[in-house]
Each structure stands twice: as structure tokens, then as C-alpha cells.
Amino acid sequence: AQSVAQPEDQVNVAEGNPLTVKCTYSVSGNPYLFWYVQYPNRGLQFLLKYITGDNLVKGSYGFEAEFNKSQTSFHLKKPSALVSDSALYFCAVRSPDSWGKFQFGAGTQVVVTP
Amino acid sequence: NAGVTQTPKFQVLKTGQSMTLQCAQDMNHEYMSWYRQDPGMGLRLIHYSVGAGITDQGEVPNGYNVSRSTTEDFPLRLLSAAPSQTSVYFCASREVTSGANVLTFGAGSRLTVL
């Protein structure tokens, strides 16, 4: 079975400060890991993914994430948050052996204040 | 290129009524899926399909039927709606053969069952 945990329901950060959204996972084998963002009344948009290779992956809008196999984590980061980054962020995992099923976390609401 | 199109965007049903949520994609994606989004629970997979004529159950399939007669369309049917099916429904597709792994989401369909 595969699972994803996002331990924070909400993250509050001031504009210009670093932003981190946490994600840990459980999956058999090597994981495929993803971050998606959802703006109000919209569908999810892809931000970045880790499949293999460099543990630090860069994605859209200045976001990056670091895959840590020993800690089974894939935290999303942005060095300097913008008010426009306020949204709902989802971490997702898929096992290479379960290619039909993506498992999503519960989501973390990010609020960036001016 | 319209991507993934869902209709209707909003629907109100009475308990026991039936309806179909439509999903169409124009990207020739082999894989299509339906998720429901509920507060604090993230996205949960209902059903998915890996090609025309092939469907499989996800995490929460009870009360929902699907079929895949063409590559483009993947309708979700509620045979006898229940208040527990009040949710926001998302259709998502992805290319399989290239191994891209990234899901493309529709804008969502908000369903209320009274």
C-alpha cells in the first residue's frame, strides 16, 4: 500500500520569507513523487516531480523539492514567497508497480501575507 | 488544445436521482481517472482507465460506475445519489507510453446531493 502524509493543514508565511511545505510518503520500491497546486475553484496544476536522478528537483514558479530517501520525505520549498503563492498544495506518490494509482496527501493551505 | 473538459461545473441532485458527469480530453491520453475532493481528505481515486474498454476500481468506487468506449471520453455515473456523494469531482488524464507520469486535471464538477 502507498500513502502520503502532509502534517500541516496550513502554513503561514510573510511575503519574502522562505516557504516550506512538508510531505512524507510510504511506498514499496522506488517512489515517483509529485507536487500539485490548486487555486480557488480551479483544478490541480502540476508543479514538479521526482522520478529518478538528482535529489533536488526544480519546478514551476520558482519552487523546488528535495527527495530524501532515508527520511522518506519530499518537502516543497521556495526561497522567497509571494502573496500569489497562496493556494492549496498537494503532494502525491505513485509506485512504479502501481502505475494506475496516484495517492494524494490531504493538502496544505499556504497563506502568504504582505 | 482544450486539455481536460468536465461538464457540468455545478449540479444539485435529490437523494436517489441518477446523473452522469462527463469528462473529455483531446490529448490522446491513454490513462483517465476520476477523483473526489473532500475537505481534509485530499483527493481520493474513484475509478481509472488505461485505455478504451479497460477500467478498474480505485480507493472509493462504491456508488459509481464508469465505462470507456473511446480514448477521449470517460463518464462517471451515479446510479442512485446519496448525500455522502456531495463533493467536488475531478477528472484527470495522462500519457502512458512516454512515461511522462504527469496528470492533467479538469476544472472540476461540484455536486450537491440533498
User: Which tens digit of pLDDT belongs to each residue from A60-89?
Assistant: 999 999 999 999 999 999 999 999 999 999
What was the pLDDT predicted at A99? 67
Instruction: Report the Cα B29 to chain-centroid distance in Å.
Output: 14
Owner of C-alpha cell 481536460: B4
Do residues B71 and B90 make contact, with C-beta atoms less than 8 angstroms apart? no
Instruction: Report the Cα B5 to chain-centroid distance in Å.
Output: 11
Closest to B106 in 3D by CA, of B18, B47, B35, B30 = B35
Q: What are the grid coordinates assigned to B49, written together?
A: 482507465
Owner of C-alpha cell 463533493: B87
What is d(CA B76, CA B63) in angstroms, rounded to the nearest whole number?
Answer: 10
| 3-state class (DSSP) for residue A111 | strand
Which of A32, A42, A90 lies nearest to residue B42, judging by beta carbons?
A90
Do residues B75 and B67 make contact, with C-beta atoms less than 8 angstroms apart? yes
| 3-state class (DSSP) for residue A58 | strand
Residue A52's pLDDT band (cuts 50, 70, 90):
confident
Which of A4, A100, A104 lies nearest to residue B50, judging by beta carbons?
A100
Looking at chain A, which residue has its C-alpha nearest residue B5? A43
DSSP B83: G
Residue B90 near chain A (CB below 8 Å): yes
Top pLDDT among B41 and A21 is at A21
Residue B114's pLDDT band (cuts 50, 70, 90):
very high
Give A92's strand partners: A34, A104
pLDDT for residue B1 is more than 70: no
DSSP B3: -
What is d(CA B90, CA A43) in angstroms, rounded to the nearest whole number?
Answer: 7
Top pLDDT among A99 and B41 is at B41
pLDDT for residue A95 is more than 80: yes
What was the pLDDT predicted at B100? 62
Q: How many CB atoms lie within 10 A of CB A109?
A: 15
Decide if A44 and B103 are in contact by the 8 Å CB cutoff. Answer: yes
Tens of pLDDT, residues B56-89:
999 999 999 999 999 999 999 999 999 999 999 9
What was the pLDDT predicted at B101? 79
pLDDT for residue A34 is more than 90: yes
The whole-angstrom distance between A33's CA and the closest CA on chain B is: 10
Which of B30, B35, B43, B102 to mutate against chain A (most A CBs within 10 Å)?
B43
